[in-house]
Amino acid sequence: MSVGSWILILALLFVQWPTVIAQGDGSNLADDRRPALYTGDFGNCMENSTITISRFDAAYYADNMTVLFHIDGKTSLVNDNLMSKAIIHLDGESRFSILFNPCNANLPSLCPARSGVNITAAHIIPVSQADVSEIPAIAFAIPDFEGRADLRIFSNSTNRQVACVTAIITNGKTFSHPKIISSVLGGFAFIVFISSFVAACSTFVTGDGIIGSRSLYAHSLSVYMVFSCFHSIFFTGALSIDFPSVLISFWSNFAWSAGLIKAESMQDSLDRITRKSAPSIDAMDPSGQALDLERELYSLSKRHFQFGVHQKEGLPVPGGYLGFPATLAQLDITATNAFMTAFLWFLVLLVSLVVVVGGLKLILGACTAAGLGKDRVKVFRDNWLAFLKSILCRTVLIAFFPMMLLATFQFTLKVPGPQAIAAIVFMTILIGVSTGIAHAYVNILRGGRLKSERESRVISLERKFGFVPWCKISRQGSNAADQKPSPTLIPWWKLSIEKNQERDIHDEETLVHQFGWLSARFRRRRWWFFGPWFLYEFIRALFYGGGQSNPRAQILGLLALEIIALGVSASASPFQSVRLNALIYVFGIMKISTLAIIAALMLNTGTNRIVVTVLGIVIIVFQGVTVLAVIIFGAVNVYTTYFVLAPLESRIKPESCIPVREKYLKHIQTRSVDIDPPPKVETEPVVPSFSVTDVRRYPKIDDEYDDQRGPLFSGSSQRATMSDDPTTPRANAPSGVRLPRRTWSPSQSWTNEGMSSIPHLASSRTDWPILNPPPASINNSFRKETPLGQAQNLQSLETDVHTFPQKF
Confidence at residue 716, expressed as pLDDT on a 0 to 100 scale? 45
In the chain, the percentage of residues whose pLDDT exceeds 70 is 70
pLDDT > 50? residue 135: yes
Does the structure show a pLDDT above 60 at 279? Answer: no
**785 has pLDDT over 60:** no
8 A C-beta contact, residue 76 and residue 66? no
Output the pLDDT for position 353: 93
pLDDT of residue 338: 94
Q: Which amino acid is at 107?
A: L
pLDDT at 51: 86
Confidence label for 250 from pLDDT (cuts 50, 70 and 90): very high
Q: Quick one: pLDDT at residue 664?
A: 79
Q: How far is CA 426 from its chain centroid?
A: 30
Q: What pLDDT is recorded for position 679?
A: 64
Region 180-201: mean pLDDT is 90
| Predicted confidence band of residue 125 (pLDDT cuts 50, 70, 90) | confident
- Say whether pLDDT at 537 is over 50: yes
Mean pLDDT comparison of 236-240, 605-609, 644-648, 804-808, highest-scoring range: 236-240
Model confidence at 345, in pLDDT bands (50, 70, 90)?
very high
Question: DSSP class of residue 760?
Answer: H
Contact 624, 178 (CB under 8 A): no
Burial of 299 (0-12, 13-18, 19+ CB in 10 A): exposed
Q: Of 217-221, 412-416, 586-590, which one has max mean pLDDT?
A: 586-590
Place 705 in a pLDDT band, splitting at 50, 70 and 90. Answer: low
How high does pLDDT run on average in the chain? 76
> How much is the average pLDDT of 124-153?
83
pLDDT band at 325 (very low <50, low <70, confident <90, very high): very high
pLDDT computed for residue 685 by the predictor: 73
Pairing of strands 147-155, 468-475: unpaired
Mean pLDDT of 9-24: 37
In single-letter form, the type of residue at position 132 comes to V
Question: Over the stretch 719-763, which tens digit does the pLDDT of each residue have?
Answer: 444 444 444 444 454 544 444 444 444 444 444 444 545 444 444
C-beta of residue 345 within 8 angstroms of C-beta of residue 261: yes
Nearest residue to 594 via CA among 260, 234, 54: 234
**273-277 average pLDDT score:** 62
> Looking at the predicted structure, is the pLDDT value of residue 198 above 70?
yes
DSSP-derived 3-state class of residue 69? strand
Q: Tell me what pLDDT residue 35 has.
A: 85
Handedness of CA 273, 274, 275, 281 (dihedral sign): negative
CA distance 518 to 516: 5
3-state SS assignment for residue 55: strand
Q: Are 473 and 563 in contact (CB under 8 A)?
A: no
168 has a pLDDT exceeding 70: yes
Q: In the predicted model, is pLDDT for residue 592 greater than 50? A: yes
Determine phi and psi for 239, rounding to 5 degrees: -75, 150
Of the two residues 369 and 156, the one the predictor is more confident about is 156
pLDDT of the residue at 369: 77
Q: Which residue has the higher pLDDT, 526 or 561?
A: 561
Q: For 626-669, how does the pLDDT look when each residue is reduced to its tens digit (9 = 90+)?
A: 999 999 999 998 888 877 776 655 666 777 777 787 787 787 87
Give, for 148, the enclosing helix (H) or strand (E).
strand 147-155
Does the pLDDT at position 442 exceed 90? no
Mean pLDDT, range 594-615, rounded to an integer: 89
pLDDT at 622 over 90: yes
Name all domains of the chain by residue range, CATH numbers in brackets: 3-170 (2.60.40.770), 178-276+308-455+492-673 (no CATH), 715-807 (no CATH)
30-44, 125-139, 491-505, 784-798: least confident range: 784-798
Please tell me the predicted confidence (pLDDT) of residue 643.
74
Predicted TM-score (pTM) of this structure: 0.72
Mean pLDDT for 202-219 is 69
Note the pLDDT of residue 706.
Answer: 57
User: How much is the pLDDT for 300?
Assistant: 43
Could you tell me the end-to-end alpha-carbon distance of the chain, in angstroms, rounded to an integer? 141
Burial 128-150 (b: 16+ CB within 10 A, else e): eeebbeebbeebbebbbbbbbbb
Q: What kind and span of H or E run contains 669?
A: helix 658-673
- 180, 186, 190, 193 alpha-carbon torsion, rounded to 10°: 150
User: What gap in Å lies between CA 243 and CA 597, rounded to an integer?
Assistant: 11
Residue 107 pLDDT: 78
CB 227 within 8 A of CB 252: no
